[in-house]
Amino acid sequence: MAKVPQPAKKSYFFSKGYQDLGNTIKGAWSRNFASIRKYIATLRGLGSRNLAGKIFFGILNVLAMLAVLVCGSALTAAMTLANIMVLLAFMACIYVGFTVIWVIDRIYLVTRKIFAACDRCKHSSLIPTYLCPNCGEKHSNLTPGVYGILRRTCNCGQKLPTVFFNGRKDLPGICPHCLEEDGIVHYLNNAETRPLCIPIVGARSVGKTAFITAFTKEFIDTVAPAKGIEIQLYNDEKEQIYRQITSDFTAGSTRMTERPQDNRSVSSVSFSFFAKHPSFKPDRLVHVYDIAGEVFTDNTETEVQKQYEYCAGIVFVVDPFSIPSVRMEYEELLTKEDIAGIGGADLDGVIDAFMEKLRQVTGLSDEKMSKVPLAVVINKIDSAGLEGDIGERAVGKCMTAEPDKYVDFYDTQDYLCRKFLRENGMAGFLNRIDLRFKRNRFFACSAIGHTRDAGQYRPMGVLPPMEWLFKQADSAMGKVWNDHTFTKKPVDPNETKTAASTH
C-alpha cells in the first residue's frame, strides 16, 4: 500500500521471495533440460560403437530421454506447482496479515480523530513524514505494507515501528506539505494526538489577542489544575509565546497581531499545548489561532487558512463599540484609551468576508459549513457599563425577575446578546449567523477586565465560549471540564459593580 518508494528494505515476501521462487522454478527446469541434453550428447557419441551397440544404446538413451521429457517434466511441473502453492500460501497469509493490521491502524486513527495539524502551513496529515532516528531518512508512509508489517528496516539498518501501538508516535515527524510545497523541514510534535483547533477571528482591534491571553492563563492556571489536566507546551516557540502571554497578562497590556511582511512567514499564529488526562486517549493537542484583523478582513493571508477545514469550532469576536449606534450612545462614557482601541470595520462586511473565506478555503457546501460550531463573543463589556446590559448583572436581573422563563445562565446571556445586537441595527448580522451556522451561541466577555495597561488582567467570561466549543467537539474534554463555568449562578442584580467592570 506504499504509494511512493520508501528509503527502506522491502519485506522478503514482497521482493526476494519472488526472486527465490523464480530461481527455484528456473533451476528445476534447467536441471530437467540438462538431463535431456546429456542423453542427446550420449547419442551423438555412439559413432565409435558397432552397429549392435549403436542400436542398443541408442534405444536405451532415447527411452531415457523420453522418460525425462515426459515423466521428469511432469514431476518437475508438480514440484514447481507445489513450491509455488506453498510460497503463495505464505504470501497470502502475509498479505492478509499486513492488510488487517493496516486497517486496524487506520480505524484507530480515524475513530480517535487522530491526525497531524501543522501549525505553520495549516495542512492536516493523517500520517506525517517520520524521520529515521539513526540516519534522518524521511519515511512518508510509515504504515504496515510491503516494507514490513509491524516494523520496517530503514536502508541504514534501523528498525522502525509502523503502527500506533508499537512506538511509531515516538519517532520525530515533519510536515509533508511544508517539505513538498516550500522545501521547509518543519517538525511536528503531535505524537499522534487528537488536535482541537480553535481559530479566533474578527476585525482589527476587537480584542482577539487579549481574548487568547486571558483564556490561556485562565485555562492553564485555573481549569487545568482543578481538573487534573497536565499541560505541556508544544515546543520552544510556544514556550516563548507563553512567556509573552504571561507578561501581557501581568501588565494588563496586549499586542497588535503583526501583519506578515515576508511571504514565507505565516499570517495565522497558533498558541499550542498538549492537554493530558487519564481519560484522554489519546492526549489532546490544543491549537488556538490568532490572525491580524486587517489581514483577515482584507483577505491578504500569506498561506491558505486550512485550519477551517478541521477546526473544532470558531470564536468570532465582536467589538460592540464598532457598531455606530452603540458608539453614539456610549462614547461619552468611554476613556480616551478605549476610544482609540475601537475597531473601524463594518460588522456586516466582516461576517460576509468571513463566510466567503470559509467557503473558498474549505470547499464545503453550505450544509457542511453550517455544522461548524460558532461562538460569537461580544468583548469589552467592562467599558461604558455594558456589563449591566449583557453581562452577569443583566443576566442575574432577568433570572431573578422571571425565574420560570430564564432558567439557564448562558441561555439567558445568549438571549440578551441577540437582543442587544438587534436593537442596535444588527438584525442582518444575526440572520446571517443563524442562516449559515446551525450551532451558534452568543456570549459576552471582557478579556482584560478594564482599560488596557491599567494593571493585571481581570478577565470576565472568556472561559464559557471556549468550553462550549470544546464540548461540541470532544465529549471526553467536556466531561473532564465538567461544567467548570456552565454551573454559573445568577448574580444579584442589586450588587454594586466591582472595580473590574467599571472605570
Kindly give the confidence (pLDDT) of every residue in the chain, 503 residues in length, as a single tens digit, with 9 standing for 90 and above: 445 789 998 877 676 666 776 777 776 767 767 777 776 776 666 666 666 666 766 677 677 777 766 676 777 777 777 777 877 787 788 888 888 999 999 999 999 999 999 988 888 999 999 999 999 999 998 999 888 889 999 999 999 999 999 999 999 999 999 999 888 999 998 768 999 999 998 888 888 999 999 999 999 999 999 999 999 999 999 999 999 999 999 999 887 555 444 444 455 788 999 999 999 989 999 999 987 645 555 555 545 577 778 888 999 999 999 999 999 998 888 888 888 878 767 787 788 877 777 777 666 566 667 788 999 999 999 999 899 999 999 999 999 999 999 999 999 999 999 999 999 999 999 998 998 888 999 999 999 998 887 889 999 999 999 999 999 999 999 889 875 444 455 555 454 333 333 32
Q: In 3-state terms, what secondary structure has residue 116?
A: strand
Sheet strands side by side (includes 268-276): 230-233, 268-276, 284-291, 194-201, 314-318, 374-378, 440-444
Q: Which residue has the cell 522502525?
A: 160
Q: Strand pairing of 194-201 and 187-188?
A: unpaired
The confidence score (pLDDT) of residue 212 equals 95
In whole angstroms, give the CA distance from residue 46 to residue 66. 18
The confidence score (pLDDT) of residue 501 equals 34
- Cis peptide bond upstream of 282, omega within 30: yes
Residues 6+ apart with CB under 8 A from 249: 213, 214, 217, 456, 457
In whole angstroms, give the CA distance from residue 486 to residue 55. 109
Instruction: Name all contacts of 28-31 with Cβ < 8 Å and 24+ positions apart.
Output: 28/76, 28/79, 28/80, 29/76, 29/80, 31/76
The confidence score (pLDDT) of residue 11 equals 76
The confidence score (pLDDT) of residue 181 equals 87
Half-sphere exposure of 126 (CA within 13 A, CB side): 13
Residues 6+ apart with CB under 8 A from 268: 122, 199, 289, 290, 291, 301, 303, 305, 307
Instruction: List Cα–Cα distances, 237 to 119, 288, 305, in angstroms.
Output: 11, 14, 20
The confidence score (pLDDT) of residue 420 equals 96
